[in-house]
A and B are shown apart, each in its own frame.
Chain A
Amino acid sequence: MTDVQTETPAAPEVAVAPKANPVAWPLGLAGVVLVIVGSFLSWSYDGTILNDLSIDFFPGGLQILAIVIAVLSLVLLLAAKGPLAALGSWLDATLGLRTFGTGLVLYMALVLVAISVESEGLINVNPGGYVTLVGALLIAVSGWLLPLRQLRNMKAAKLPGWVDILAIAVLMGSLLFLAAYALGLEDAWSFILCLVFIATAATGLFRTGAMSWVAQAGQRNRKVLTLASFAVAFLFPFTQDGSDANMSIATSVLVFAATAMGLNIVVGLAGLLDLGYIAFLGSGAYVAATLSQSAFATIGWKPPFLVVVLVGALVAMLLGLVIGSPTLRVSGDYLAIVTLGFGEIFRFAMFNLDGNNGPNLTNGPNGIPGIPDLELFGFNFGAVHHPFGIELGRFSNYYFLLLILTGGVILVFSRLNNSRIGRGWVAIREDEKAAEAMGVNVFGLKLLAFAVGAFLAGLAGTIKAHQDGAVSPDQYIFLESAFLLAAIVLGGMGTIAGVLLGATILKLLPEKLRFFSEYRLLLFGITLVLMMRFRPEGLVASRRRQLEFHEDDEHLAEVVENELVEEAK
Chain B
Amino acid sequence: MTVTDAPPAAAAVGGTVLEASGVTMRFGGLLAVNNVNLTVREGEIVGLIGPNGAGKTTFFNCLTGLYKPTSGQVRFAGVPRKAPKPPKRKRVKKAPSAAAVDAVTVAVQVPSLPKLSPLPPKPRAVVRAGMARTFQNIRLFANMTALENVMVGRYSRTSAGAITSVLRGPKFRREEAATRARAQELLDFVGLGKSTEHLARNMPYGDQRRLEIARALATDPKLILLDEPTAGMNPQETKQAMDLIFKIRDLGLSVVVIEHDMRFIFTLCDRVLCLVRGETLVEGTPGEVQSDPRVIEAYIGSGEDDDEDDDGPQDVVEEAKP
Q: Which residues of A contact B (CB under 8 A)?
A: 411-412, 415-416, 419-424, 426-427, 430-431, 433-442, 448, 452, 544, 547-548, 557-558, 560-561, 564-565, 567-568
Contacts and interface: CB of A to CB of B under 8 A. Distances in A.
Which of B124, B160, B199 has the most chain A CB within a 10 Å cutoff? B124
B311 interface: no
Nearest to A438: B153
A434 B135 contact: yes
A420 B176 contact: yes
B197 A561 contact: yes
Interface stretch (B22-30, B141-149, B296-304): B141-149
Contact of A558 (B144, B202, B218): B202
Contacts of A422: 165
A427 B152 contact: yes
B155 A412 contact: no
Interface string B207-220: 00000000110110
A561 B145 CA distance: 8
Contacts of A434: 135, 139-141
B121 interface: no
Given A412-B166, A433-B66, A557-B199, A419 B141 contact: no
B202 A437 contact: no
Interface of B: 64, 66, 123-124, 127-128, 132-133, 135, 139-145, 148, 151-158, 160-162, 165-166, 168, 172, 175-176, 179, 196-199, 201-202, 215-216, 218-219
B142 A421 contact: no
Contacts of A560: 199
A560 B168 CA distance: 28
A81 B99 CA distance: 52
A494 to B, nearest CB: 12
B201 A420 contact: no
Contact of A426 (B144, B157, B160, B199): B144
B139 A436 contact: no
A420 B158 contact: yes
Nearest to B158: A420
Contact of A421 (B64, B144, B162): B162
B180 to A, nearest CB: 11
Given A419-B176, A423-B151, A439-B128, A431 B201 contact: no
Given A437-B66, A557-B199, 14 more contacts: A415-B168, A419-B160, A420-B154, A420-B175, A421-B165, A423-B151, A430-B142, A433-B66, A437-B64, A439-B157, A452-B162, A547-B143, A557-B201, A557-B202
Nearest to A415: B166
Nearest to B167: A415
Contacts of B148: 423, 426
A5 B199 CA distance: 23
10 contacts: A420-B155, A423-B151, A426-B148, A426-B152, A430-B144, A431-B142, A434-B135, A434-B140, A548-B143, A565-B197
A256 B215 CA distance: 40
A412 B190 CA distance: 35
A438 B221 CA distance: 11
A564 B158 CA distance: 25
B181 to A, nearest CB: 14
A411 B165 CA distance: 11
